[in-house]
Amino acid sequence: MRRFAVAAMPFIALLAFPCICNAGTITYSIQNYPADQNGATLSGTITTDGVIGNLAQGDFLSGSGDILSWNWTITPVGGTPFTVTSSDAGSLTVVEGSLVASASEITMAGVLAGAPNDFSSQGSNPEGDLEWNREVSGGTYFGEAGTFAFWFTGNPSMGGTKPWVIAVASVPEPSTLTLAGLGAISGLVYSLARKRRARCKVVSA
């Protein structure tokens, strides 16, 4: 058993290494709530600097802070997809109140007494705005392009009075290095088991 533990250490290190390399940013998938979106489909991502807890806005105009980048696409029923990204000219990010990140999701708390509670990602080229707002009881949720509103929903059903789930962390696919490490460990276990069975047969004989 001790021999196996020593031999397995390099492979355990290989398994841990990808996790260490990927630390520092988290990419979340924006959640789709068709019932609150006038039937439209919403997709996109939000990438943060990996902070766990309240997300800070940073500079208002540049959109810097804990949110590093974002993109979203709204596809209305029978319509043309409309896409906005943080890299578009004039885009900005507004974070006010309690926008909280965990390792698995980004949520927005309920109404905050005497304080704004709002998150929006806005672009000016093309012009668009995707916003979650809980400054009033029930909150509002809307997505728009210029003067056209894809939806403007009061009291959305996405979370009721509970924290709204804005986005969920993407599940990373196993890396080639991880799979190779698992294969090597499996081979090592099989080899040791064969040797042990061989020794048992010799003793029995």
Q: How many domains does the chain fold into?
A: 2
Same domain? For 48 and 80 the reply is yes
Mean pLDDT of successive 10-residue segments in the chain (205 residues)?
A: 47 42 80 96 96 81 76 95 94 91 95 86 94 92 95 90 91 48 51 57 52
Same domain? For 156 and 194 the reply is no
Residue 182: which domain range? 2-19+174-204
Same domain? For 62 and 126 the reply is yes
Same domain? For 39 and 73 the reply is yes
Same domain? For 58 and 128 the reply is yes
Same domain? For 55 and 140 the reply is yes
pLDDT at 205: 55
What one-character-per-residue DSSP string does 139-201 give?
-EEEEEETTEEEEEEES-TTTTTSPEEEEEEPPPPPPHHHHHHHHHHHHHHHHHHHHHHHHHH
Q: Are strands 140-145 and 99-101 parallel, antiparallel or unpaired?
A: unpaired
pLDDT at 156: 94
Query: At CB < 8 A and 24+ separation, what contacts does 44-48 make?
Result: 44/70, 44/71, 44/72, 44/73, 45/70, 45/71, 45/167, 45/170, 46/70, 46/106, 46/121, 46/166, 46/167, 48/101, 48/106
pLDDT at 113: 78
Report yes or no on 24 lying in a domain. Answer: no
Same domain? For 108 and 15 the reply is no
Same domain? For 132 and 53 the reply is yes
Same domain? For 151 and 63 the reply is yes
* Model-wide pTM > 0.95: no
Same domain? For 66 and 155 the reply is yes
Same domain? For 98 and 81 the reply is yes
